[in-house]
């Protein structure tokens, strides 16, 4: 296997920096199952405050944070709604059904972008024993499989107004909400205000080795803490991990703009040699999805050709390839990716 010069498989590949490791080593710890880890408590309170919610809950994974959020709002036999590309229905292995007896329906979306009529046209309430009733709408921001799409705040607010009138909750899968915030300048609390619960990830662009935080009301987070234990997510002296998250919030949020700029530069280079594969103006954050089929190449062959040149990417469909910029891909790595991709696309 060739030496990897640009690993764009995912932003989950980021490794803790030396400064982050030092912060982890200094962390004050306690038993988090008993709520006695002061560093975890500090992280939960800080993230909840940033998102405008009462309380937070530290979880080992983003999927667990999402699943706890879903569980809070949907009793077994009721349904959640999400778009057809959403992580909660496409990449969490059916956990909502397996763990919580939740059924789901999806609305079609272009690049994962939210249009209010999508979920609102599916919401079903007040139908008695004849149809499944909708309990929750899930929005993902930014949208992973959509290509890092930032959700329009106006569309979110329109959905919120419609769901509130019908007594339907909303959960935000905000694994990459930091990217949306940096790309748009919209305060995190403005996004958070439109949702009953929000999950955010620390181990993607922010570079922490593990962890997500779920936020909501104090009552909801107390219930989520019980379900976290039931799901096997009770943790002990995990202040060493929470400290990484606190360091990331201090040092790694604003630098996400660098990832966005590098992704756009790569997209523009690809479009210069094969205009049909990507629209650079649609690249809003750190994720690019290339339509390599438009260049007459299969996703599998494109990924293999990049790997031969030391660049890793991810085939998300027969003709679609995802590339993700992050803390460990600098300008030199981006240059290498541009050279590799344009060579393949040029045939």
Compute the distance between CA of residue 249 and CA of residue 218 in angstroms, rounded to an integer: 22
Compute the distance between CA of residue 97 and CA of residue 82 in angstroms, rounded to an integer: 14
Is 80 exceeded by the pLDDT of residue 78? yes
Buried b (16+ CB within 10 A) or exposed e, 159-187: bbebbeeeebbbbbbbbbbbbbbbbbebe
User: Which pLDDT belongs to residue 15?
Assistant: 94
Residue 291 in contact with residue 262, Cβ under 8 Å? no
The vertex-182 CA angle with 225 and 71, nearest 5°, equals 20
User: Which pLDDT belongs to residue 252?
Assistant: 98
All structural domains of the chain, each given as residue ranges with its CATH number in brackets, are 6-13+255-345 (3.90.1150.10), 31-250 (3.40.640.10)
The vertex-53 CA angle with 36 and 19, nearest 5°, equals 55
Compute the distance between CA of residue 268 and CA of residue 63 in angstroms, rounded to an integer: 33
Tell me the pTM: 0.96
Average pLDDT, the chain: 97
What's the whole-number mean pLDDT along residues 228-241?
Answer: 96
**Using the 8-state DSSP alphabet, how is residue 191 labeled?**
H
Specify the 3-state DSSP secondary structure of 124: coil
SS3 content of the chain, % helix, strand, coil (to 5): 45, 15, 35
Specify the 3-state DSSP secondary structure of 251: helix
Compute the distance between CA of residue 330 and CA of residue 336 in angstroms, rounded to an integer: 10
How sure is the predictor about 292, in pLDDT bands with cuts at 50, 70 and 90? very high
CA–CA distance from 336 to each of 272, 300, 310, 329 (Å)? Answer: 16, 20, 8, 10
Is 90 exceeded by the pLDDT of residue 130? no
Is 80 exceeded by the pLDDT of residue 129? yes
Provide φ and ψ at 312, rounded to 5°. -100, 140
User: Which pLDDT belongs to residue 217?
Assistant: 98
Give the containing element (helix H, strand E) for 138.
strand 134-140
Compute the distance between CA of residue 270 and CA of residue 264 in angstroms, rounded to an integer: 10
Q: Give the model confidence (pLDDT) of 237-276 as tens digits.
A: 999 999 999 999 999 999 999 999 999 999 999 999 999 9
Is 80 exceeded by the pLDDT of residue 119? yes
User: Which pLDDT belongs to residue 128?
Assistant: 85
Q: Give the model confidence (pLDDT) of 21-67 as tens digits.
A: 999 999 999 999 999 999 999 999 999 999 999 999 999 999 999 99
How much of the chain exceeds pLDDT 90, in percent?
Answer: 98
Is 90 exceeded by the pLDDT of residue 2? no
User: Which pLDDT belongs to residue 347?
Assistant: 77
């Amino acid at each position: 296997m060739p030496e990897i010069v640009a690993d764009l498989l995912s932003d989950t590949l980021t490794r803790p920096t030396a400064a982050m490791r030092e912060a982890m080593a200094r962390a004050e710890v306690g038993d988090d199952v008993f709520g006695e880890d002061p560093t975890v408590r500090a992280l939960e309170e800080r993230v909840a405050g940033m998102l405008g919610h009462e309380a937070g809950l530290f979880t080992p994974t983003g999927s667990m944070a999402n699943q706890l959020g879903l569980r809070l709002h949907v009793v077994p036999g009721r349904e959640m709604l999400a778009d057809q590309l959403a992580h909660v229905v496409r990449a969490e292995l059916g956990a909502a059904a397996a763990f919580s007896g939740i059924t789901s329906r999806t609305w079609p979306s272009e690049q994962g972008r939210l249009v209010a009529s999508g979920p609102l046209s599916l919401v079903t309430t007040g139908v008695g024993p004849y149809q499944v009733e909708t309990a929750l709408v899930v929005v993902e921001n930014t949208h992973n499989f959509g290509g890092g799409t930032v959700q329009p705040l106006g569309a979110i607010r329109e959905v919120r107004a419609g769901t509130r009138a019908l007594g339907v909750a909303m959960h935000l899968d905000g694994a990459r909400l930091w990217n949306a915030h940096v790309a748009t300048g919209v305060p995190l609390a403005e996004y958070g205000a439109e949702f009953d619960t929000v999950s955010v990830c620390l181990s993607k662009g922010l570079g922490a080795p593990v962890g997500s935080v779920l936020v909501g009301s104090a009552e909801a987070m107390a219930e989520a803490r019980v379900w976290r234990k039931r799901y096997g997510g009770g943790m002990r002296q995990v202040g060493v991990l929470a400290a990484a998250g606190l360091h990331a919030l201090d040092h790694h949020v604003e630098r996400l703009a660098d990832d966005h700029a590098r992704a756009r530069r790569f997209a523009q280079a690809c479009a210069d040699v094969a205009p049909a594969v990507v629209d650079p103006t649609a690249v809003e954050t750190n994720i690019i999805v290339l339509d390599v089929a438009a260049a007459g190449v299969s996703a599998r062959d494109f990924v293999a050709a990049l790997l031969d040149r030391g660049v890793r990417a991810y085939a998300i469909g027969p003709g679609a390839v995802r590339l993700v910029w992050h803390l460990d891909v600098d300008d030199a790595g981006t240059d290498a990716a541009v050279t590799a991709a344009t060579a393949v696309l040029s045939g």
